[in-house]
Amino acid sequence: MLQVPFIKENKETVIKQLAVRNIDATKMIEDVISLDEDRRQTQTLLDNGLAEANTLSKEIGDLYKSGKAAEANALKEKTTELKETTKNLTERLNDIVEALNNLLYKIPNVPHASVPKGSTEEDNEEIFREGDIPVLHSEALPHWELAKKYDIIDFELGNKITGAGFPVYKGKGARLQRALIAYFLDKNTEAGYTEYQLPLLVNEASGFGTGQLPDKEGQMYHVTEDNLYLIPTAEVPGTNIFRDVILNESELPIGITGYTPCFRREAGSYGAHVRGLNRLHQFDKVEILRVEHPSRSYQALDEMVAHVKTLLIDLKLPYRILRLCGADIGFTSALTYDFEVFSTAQDRWLEISSVSNFETFQANRLKLRFKNAEGKNELAHTLNGSSLALPRVLAGILENYQTKDGIVIPDVLVPYTGFKIID
């Protein structure tokens, strides 16, 4: 959530940068400033009324002590009027604050200056590419056919048990999935991230804290009776560890990692591009999160990008990095880099990671602060990245490592799988 002082001090810049998202935010920003001015004026009237009431109460007490009951009773009538006035002002102030917060919740983060303007994902900028795209044999198959051929993932069984988008991993498929999770966690902890095992359901406050609510409410599975939400990513419970926390500057930076299943309704998704593992309602992902000092958060973002690179280099998968344009960047993000792995059998790029800097946007919602060198509380910066999302990584491995004799396991995963080939 944007800070009101920031909006007021940078009105034109905020409107200009939000236009990069193809949003005309002029009216919203003007309404924020108007509501805040109304809030300030109402708060002043309320404070003055309360101060006057306190003064009168003291005067009334003094008059009673002096035996001037008539004068005291006259003043009591005035305090009754003041109580009604301050009650009305309090109600008005609460209404204004609620309206202001509701409006602020609807305004996305201001994109970083490097974010390109664009209308669709086609306008994302490719900034890096690495790895050779393998030449497959003439009978190469897409991963959903490989899964069936080698009996390692059963999409029909998942459909029977739950519905489309909930695959069942079997045998070597399940072991390969587990190997990827363990490998990613090991690499993340070696890089200094502390491993956490996190809840898979969160409350409403957690959803608002990281920005999934109200923006993505329709994409989250909601347990209505308990008003809990199944997590769309470990980012939500992981970042909410720090909700309502004041850190010491010496504690920064903080890095955590965690593996969780993730749940997304993916409403409106259909077509050939969602076949197999390309888009699921339940999938596994290993996440990395950072809480950073504002002065070094973009250095931290670069470090996170470099770390994800190492995972893909070790897996020997061809990949590229995109800087997302204004139309494709997430609601809460100031700058996002997407990693995509090339699916040779499908002849297309598949997104496998997003690494983002949210600057103070989440921290403001979370009230995540640190005490700076001057002893003042300051909002921290939060960052997160997939490290990595498993379905499309697995799809890339199955398709790019297929041979006529079976699917070869990447060397770095063999110690985790215990086998070298799926045949």
Give the pLDDT band (50/70/90) at residue 271: low
Kindly state whether residue 116 falls inside one of the protein's structural domains: no
- pLDDT tens for 1-10 read 999 999 999 9
- pLDDT tens for 363-416 read 999 999 999 999 999 999 999 999 999 999 999 999 999 999 999 999 999 999
C-alpha to C-alpha distances, 348 to 303, 313, 315, 396, nearest whole angstrom = 27, 19, 18, 10
Give yes or no: residues 102 and 125 share one domain.
Answer: no
CATH number of 85's domain: 1.10.287.40
Strand arrangement, sheet containing 421-422:
402-403, 406-408, 421-422
CATH number of 158's domain: 3.30.930.10
The confidence score (pLDDT) of residue 266 equals: 82
Domain C-terminal end among 53, 81, 106: 106
Return d(Cα 333, Cα 356) in angstroms, integer.
6
Domain C-terminal end among 44, 78, 106: 106
Domain C-terminal end among 75, 106, 137: 106
- pLDDT tens for 107-116 read 999 999 999 9
> What mean pLDDT do residues 326-346 have?
96
CB 407 within 8 A of CB 422: yes
Q: Which amino acid is at 126?
A: E
Kindly state whether residue 364 falls inside one of the protein's structural domains: yes
pLDDT at residue 83 above 60? yes
Give yes or no: residues 84 and 138 share one domain.
Answer: no
Give yes or no: residues 45 and 164 share one domain.
Answer: no
Long-range pairs for 45-51: beta carbons < 8 A, 24 or more residues apart: 45/89, 46/86, 46/89, 46/90, 46/93, 49/82, 49/85, 49/86, 49/89, 50/86
Give yes or no: residues 183 and 281 share one domain.
Answer: yes
> What mean pLDDT do residues 219-242 have?
97
pLDDT at residue 203 above 70? yes
Give yes or no: residues 209 and 152 share one domain.
Answer: yes
pLDDT at residue 270 above 70? no
Strands 402-403 and 369-371, how do they pair?
unpaired
The confidence score (pLDDT) of residue 268 equals: 55
Q: What percent of the chain has pLDDT over 90?
A: 87
**114 contacts: CB under 8 Å, gap ≥ 6:** 323, 335
The confidence score (pLDDT) of residue 215 equals: 82
Domain that holds residue 406: 121-422
Kindly state whether residue 300 falls inside one of the protein's structural domains: yes
Which residues define the annotated binding site for ATP?
A: 264-266, 351-354
Strands (E), 16-130: 125-130
Return d(Cα 359, Cα 109) in angstroms, integer.
9
pLDDT at residue 29 above 60? yes
Kindly state whether residue 262 falls inside one of the protein's structural domains: yes
Give yes or no: residues 55 and 10 share one domain.
Answer: yes
Neighbour-count burial of 377, counting CB atoms closer than 10 A to its CB (0-12 exposed, 13-18 middle, 19+ buried)? exposed
Overall domain count for the chain: 2
Give yes or no: residues 284 and 348 share one domain.
Answer: yes
- pLDDT tens for 45-71 read 999 999 988 888 888 887 778 877 777
The confidence score (pLDDT) of residue 80 equals: 83
The confidence score (pLDDT) of residue 267 equals: 64
pLDDT at residue 272 above 60? no
Kindly state whether residue 402 falls inside one of the protein's structural domains: yes
Give yes or no: residues 15 and 94 share one domain.
Answer: yes
Give yes or no: residues 275 and 322 share one domain.
Answer: yes
Give the pLDDT band (50/70/90) at residue 273: low
Kindly state whether residue 114 falls inside one of the protein's structural domains: no
The chain-wide mean pLDDT, for the chain, equals 95
Kindly state whether residue 113 falls inside one of the protein's structural domains: no
Give yes or no: residues 66 and 144 share one domain.
Answer: no
Give the pLDDT band (50/70/90) at residue 77: confident
Which residues define the annotated binding site?
A: 233, 264-266, 287, 351-354, 384
Residue 134: asked if its preceding bond is cis (omega within 30°), the reply is: no
Angle, helix 390-400 to helix 171-190, in steps of 10 degrees: 120
Return d(Cα 215, Cα 238) in angstroms, integer.
19
Helix (H) or strand (E) holding 195: strand 194-195
Q: Residue 266 phi/psi, 5° resolution? A: 50, 45
Kindly state whether residue 112 falls inside one of the protein's structural domains: no
Which residues define the annotated binding site for L-serine?
A: 233, 264, 287, 384
Tokens of 112: 């970083």
In this structure, what DSSP letter does residue 117 have? P
The confidence score (pLDDT) of residue 78 equals: 82
pLDDT at residue 222 above 90? yes
Q: CB count, 10 Å around CB of 289?
A: 24
Give yes or no: residues 33 and 144 share one domain.
Answer: no
pTM: 0.93
Give yes or no: residues 167 and 40 share one domain.
Answer: no
Return d(Cα 20, Cα 111) in angstroms, integer.
7
Return d(Cα 246, Cα 238) in angstroms, integer.
16
